[in-house]
Structure 1
Amino acid sequence: MKYQVTIKSAFSVDEIEDYWTNDDYIKLLEKFDYPDADGDTTSLKELLFMAISDFEPKEAAVIVLTYKLSEQLNEGQIQQISNDMFLDKVCEEYPEIGLHSKLFHVNQLLFKAYNGKFPNAKATVVKCSFTPLEDENVKELSKEDILKLLSNGLSESTLIKRLFDQAMTQNAPFPEAEDILWDLSTTDNVNFTIVTSEYWLNRDDIIASEFEGVIEDSVIVE
């Protein structure tokens, strides 16, 4: 099915607003020896940053990583990541891309708490629309559909296209799309806000603001 794709805006951010909740801040404050905290999101965040600064950066990294990723990573992996976070953007380079989003949020919390002792990672927010050009039953667009529809407007050097050329341009399954796009929101199945890592997609990768895209039902390629 053919769609008219319009890119309305694309920009970088160093944090995703409202990702960390009041409950997160309160639980983290307890882990940083600051129990019984109360207040709005802004004051809790400031309290947490002050509490974190009383700890060595590596120790703080272990605490936050354990809080957020203990169900996906073992103690040894968390210790290794806490070491690597000082040198590299682990949230871009970790081999399990399904963890990139959580690692980004942990990294940026620590980056801001320590005023830059950790590398600064970025996310990309794209606001766009996908208008059907054919009178067919309009399907609910998935993350896989969105990436395939964006393909014609992206530079050939874009990392997603280089690593997943077949999935992006052919009628093939693209399960990695679920992890590449961190968030996909819409109220009408036409206008969307997309959040992903700048590692996968940055504003310079977008070479057209209006173009056509096609999606078909994926088939397994032997």
Structure 2
Amino acid sequence: MNYQVVIKNIDTVNEVEGYWSYEDFIQLLGKFNYPDGATAEKSSLPELLEMAISDYEPNEAAQIVLEYKLRDHLSDGQIGQISNDMLIDKVCEEYPEIHLQGTLFHVNQLLFKAYNGKFPNAKASIVHFSLQPTEGEAQKLTAENVLKLLNNGLSDRNLIKRLFENQISQNIPFPEAEGIVWELTTEDNVNYNLVTSENWINKEDITESEFESVLEEIEDEV
């Protein structure tokens, strides 16, 4: 199906609003030995957590938050290694398991804020765009669909195109798309907001803001 694609804007942000819930704040406060989070004013929870975190050594705090978010995905040894590496490198941009990079970004930025810059400052991109089929009714699209449709507007220097040239440009499966795209929202199946790392898509990556793309049906692997 043919689509008219319009990339409206890309916002570069230090944190993604709404990622951490009030329940997350309460649970984390407990892990940082502040048991009264459940009775505190909701609006004060982020600030209370920042203060509670800053009472710990940075790598200790990183380990606690990583265990809270990723204990089902990483071993104790991996968590210990990442908690040290995070003080030096943007692990959330380099970690080889792409589907964990989004969570690592949110953990990194929570710690970056609490320690006022002791952790490297990573950034996310919120891409605002529309995908209008030239014929027929708009259908809700997946992360894989969307990245393939955005391909024609991305520079050849874009990291996704360099690492996944075949997957993004051909009608073959692109399973990594689910890890590259952290959030994908739409209210009308035409106008979309996509959240990802600035490392994957940034303002300099956009060479065309309006273009046409074809979305082909993915061929089943034999």
The verdict on a shared fold, with TM-score over 0.5 as the criterion, is: yes
**CA distance in structure 2 between the aligned counterparts of 1:19 and 1:155, rounded to whole angstroms:** 29
Residue type at the aligned position of 2:127: V
Q: Under a length normalisation based on structure 2, what TM-score does the superposition of the two structures give?
A: 0.96
| Residue aligning to 1:101 | 102
Structure 2 spans left out of the alignment, 5+ residues: none
Residue type at the aligned position of 1:134: E
Please tell me whether the aligned partners of residues 105 and 122 of structure 2 are also in contact (alpha carbons under 8 angstroms): yes
**CA distance in structure 1 between the aligned counterparts of 2:82 and 2:164, rounded to whole angstroms:** 26
Note the C-alpha offset of 1:42.
3.4
Count of matched residue positions in the alignment of Structure 1 and Structure 2: 221
| Residue aligning to 2:162 | 162
SS of equivalent to 1:103: helix
SS of equivalent to 1:171: coil
**CA distance in structure 2 between the aligned counterparts of 1:83 and 1:123, rounded to whole angstroms:** 22
Alignment of 1:1-222 (within 5 A): 1-37=1-37, 38-135=39-136, 138-220=138-220
Please tell me whether the aligned partners of residues 21 and 41 of structure 1 are also in contact (alpha carbons under 8 angstroms): no
**CA distance in structure 2 between the aligned counterparts of 1:94 and 1:41, rounded to whole angstroms:** 33
Residue type at the aligned position of 1:126: V
SS of equivalent to 2:9: strand
**CA distance in structure 1 between the aligned counterparts of 2:114 and 2:170, rounded to whole angstroms:** 44
Q: Under a length normalisation based on structure 1, what TM-score does the superposition of the two structures give?
A: 0.96
Pick which of 2-11 and 109-118 moved more.
Answer: 2-11
Percent of aligned pairs with the same amino acid: 60
Please tell me whether the aligned partners of residues 138 and 189 of structure 2 are also in contact (alpha carbons under 8 angstroms): no
**CA distance in structure 1 between the aligned counterparts of 2:200 and 2:165, rounded to whole angstroms:** 13
Structure 1 spans left out of the alignment, 5+ residues: none
1:151-178 deviation digits (Å, cap 9, x = unpaired): 0000011000011111111111111111
Note the C-alpha offset of 1:220.
4.4
**CA distance in structure 1 between the aligned counterparts of 2:138 and 2:85, rounded to whole angstroms:** 45
Do the aligned partners of residues 73 and 208 (structure 1) sit closer, same or farther apart at CA in structure 2, a change above 3 Å counting? Answer: same
Residue type at the aligned position of 2:158: T
Please tell me whether the aligned partners of residues 132 and 138 of structure 2 are also in contact (alpha carbons under 8 angstroms): no
Residue type at the aligned position of 1:102: T
Please tell me whether the aligned partners of residues 181 and 195 of structure 2 are also in contact (alpha carbons under 8 angstroms): yes
Do the aligned partners of residues 31 and 209 (structure 1) sit closer, same or farther apart at CA in structure 2, a change above 3 Å counting? Answer: same
